Structure 1
Amino acid sequence: MLAAVLLPVLAGCGGGSGESLKLSAPLPDTVPSGTQIRIGDPSVQAILDASGLGKQLTDAGVDVQWANITGGPQSIQAFRGDQLDCSSVADIPSLFAAWTGTSTRIVFQSVTVDPLRHPTYELGTAPGTTVRSLADLRGKRIAYSAGQAQGALVLRVLQKAGLSRKDVTLVDLTSTGDSYVTALGSGAVDVAPLGASNVRIYRAKYPRGGAVPTGIRDDAATLYCLTSAVRDAGKAAALKVYVAVRARALLWKNTHPDQYAKAYLEGTQGLSAADARAVIADDGTTGIPANWDNAVTRLQRTADLLAREQHHPKLDVSTLVDRRYEKVEAAAAGSRAVTGDAS
């Protein structure tokens, strides 16, 4: 049956099979010999090493070429240079890839169980800045990266606070490494969205700085890939294996927080043992959704907000998700898959 939907493609597909797979075709079960998949997924890479689950990839013939890349700007640049097939990101990069002419598909979704109690971001506040709640944002300089999750969060925060872009000064600044930490500490901005590990770093470096919760769901986490990768039969088969193993890896992280903290937060991110434990406590539990319905609904709302606020064309986000992989990750999670994920 599969042979009926396989067609020759041009060479130079970065270790693919050389056969094209229609996006409507079933995912192949066998990974052709010599298939490589280039993935930027540092935290999961660390989990696979620490847990031993990486053996499931090699046993299935999946050759992962790891890239120390994550986040929208880096991944889109690598996609355009044909240096990467997939990357772990929030939901915004898939939208900006579409708006800037790079065709991608989301192949993995995860959620945070009880996301409002365990937010991904807080609003870091500069030393001496009197921001105690969202109402205090009026007139403030806020770090803003249009193509990243942090940028969309800023727009949602303003919306919740009843403010518009005209009520604040948005300072264009891409969030890479500790750039937002430095901008806050130096007084270049008054407010910046900071992830959990960066909140710890910021407070350690600048004790007079602060952070306030947003009260907004911000737990979107995906793996997105070049459309050309999921159209390559070999890479699509390799991704089918990877998506299943990735689901098991994230569930392993839930039950082995100390090993994860040591392998990734300390070993890769450079956090102290105490800060790593604090981040684990803040992170909460990762859930594998039984289906993607609510995630797609949230993504559409975000796309509509960004289209309106940033003057992009309207976008149907169903064209950005490859729901063939939806059942793959849910099956890997089994009875531990999260049902009723609130939108």
Structure 2
Amino acid sequence: MALLAASTAPLLLVSCTQQDGAGTSDAKLAKTEIPAKVSPKTTLTIGAPEDRVLLQLSGAASKLPFKVKWANISGGPQCSEAFRAHSLDLCASAEVPSIHAHWTGLDTKLVAAETRKDPAKNPIYRLGIAPGAGIDSLKDLRGKRIAFSPGQAQGALVLRILHKAGLKKEDVKLVEMPSTGDVYSTALGEHQVDAAPLGAVNLKRYPAKYGKQGGKTIAHGLRDDASHLWAPTETVADPQKAAAVREFVKFWARAQFWAYEHPKEWVDGYAVKDQGLSRQDGEYLHKHNGEPEIPADWDAVIRRQQKTIDLIAKETGRKRFDAATLFDRRFEHVAADALKSSDSGEDSEGEKP
């Protein structure tokens, strides 16, 4: 499920001290057994605001078999800062933050993956075009000003769009700005930029507000639906916390489908009450989010992540690395298996209720 909340600032590409978990090699981590049962005394601090609401609305929050401290943060830059401060164990993010974290020395792992069932029909983003910008296709981006947020999904999408259009960074002017809220749509409407990736309710609001002046959106034709649960390596290297993460992944997977299958509850409880959106915007957003898909294995997910790494490395001068190192494959089948057990009536620990 696409999160409404975006992070507040681009990730600063600076050197930093690695997490304590950085001393755990991938090989050692892969051999570290996760306990079959999670201790009820274990506590995770989780930054996933939408999932917190979903678990409350569905009644699943009281069934979590461990203690949770909810942090009202999400997205790459905010989560990265909290990881560095050792104040967060798990967060929701897109694919790019973990890549930039690796380049800045922050040791993290992806523990769950989600895509959309029909990403071509329901992309997360479309390219917003400023009134009078003269952009009708991707090739018209040459020489234009494009909003750019390094370290976030929108920034990587811009690079992928340019690549598809046969353009290089030097062929356009990238204007760095955070993608928070309606910053991009306002920048388009005020002619600060000519193009910017728009998502969530801004896909509806921007053309409604600026359409008469010529503001519009165009399709980019790329898959942009990857989202993850993301943790510091020090968290998943701790057996008891790893067990808690495993259990949360199960609840998280079920929550994504609960939201899709309960549009009224999602709109009323999350979009309107929690996010302060109008009912009309909430209904639009729920339809836009589309049906979630939890991959049963991560091979295709890792291949896509590798392509993103290769492109960003090429365009920014960063060192290419193996995408597989970002994934803790001990968790690979947890989400999909949880959905199967849910269908069969089993609880989160594989027992009949």
Q: How would you bin the TM-score normalised by the shorter chain?
A: 0.7 to 0.9
Name the CA distance, whole Å, in 1 between partners of 2:303 and 2:185. Answer: 32
Deviations 1:160-186 (A, max 9, x none): 111111211001112122221222222
Paired residue secondary structure (1:206): helix
Q: CA offset at residue 191 of structure 1?
A: 0.8
Name the CA distance, whole Å, in 1 between partners of 2:40 and 2:60. Answer: 20
Partner of 1:197: 201
Partner of 1:288: 294
2:227 is matched with which residue: 195, 198, 221?
221
Amino acid of the residue matched to residue 31 of structure 2?
Answer: S
Q: CA offset at residue 200 of structure 1?
A: 2.5
Name the CA distance, whole Å, in 1 between partners of 2:142 and 2:238. Answer: 49
Determine whether 1:171 maps to 2:160: no
Supply the RMSD in Å over aligned alpha carbons.
1.8
Name the CA distance, whole Å, in 2 between partners of 1:336 and 1:31. Answer: 19
* Within-5 A mapping of 1:301-340: 301-334=307-340
Moved over 6 A (4+): none
CA 1:280 to 1:33, structure 2 compared with 1: closer, same or farther past 3 Å?
Answer: closer
Name the CA distance, whole Å, in 1 between partners of 2:245 and 2:122. Answer: 29
* Within-5 A mapping of 1:1-343: 22-57=29-64, 60=65, 62-207=66-211, 208=213, 209-334=215-340
Q: Give the structure-1-normalised TM-score.
A: 0.87
Q: Percent identity over the alignment?
A: 46
Deviations 1:111-159 (A, max 9, x none): 1001011000011112332222212211110001121110110011011
Structure 2 gap ranges (5+): 1-19, 21-27, 344-353
Q: Give the structure-2-normalised TM-score.
A: 0.85
Q: CA offset at residue 39 of structure 1?
A: 0.9
CA 1:64 to 1:206, structure 2 compared with 1: closer, same or farther past 3 Å?
Answer: farther
CA 1:180 to 1:230, structure 2 compared with 1: closer, same or farther past 3 Å?
Answer: same
Q: Which moved more, 1:169-178 or 1:292-301?
A: 169-178
Amino acid of the residue matched to residue 250 of structure 1?
Answer: Q
Name the CA distance, whole Å, in 2 between partners of 1:264 and 1:238. Answer: 25
CA 1:266 to 1:204, structure 2 compared with 1: closer, same or farther past 3 Å?
Answer: farther
Q: CA offset at residue 335 of structure 1?
A: 8.1
Q: CA offset at residue 310 of structure 1?
A: 0.9
Structure 1 gap ranges (5+): 1-12, 14-20, 338-343
Name the CA distance, whole Å, in 2 between partners of 1:185 and 1:232. Answer: 48
Paired residue secondary structure (1:119): coil
Partner of 2:3: none
Q: CA offset at residue 33 of structure 1?
A: 4.0
Q: CA offset at residue 324 of structure 1?
A: 1.0
Paired residue secondary structure (1:324): helix
Q: How many pairs does the alignment contain? A: 315
Deviations 1:8-40 (A, max 9, x none): xxxxx9xxxxxxx94422221222243211111
Amino acid of the residue matched to residue 70 of structure 2?
Answer: W
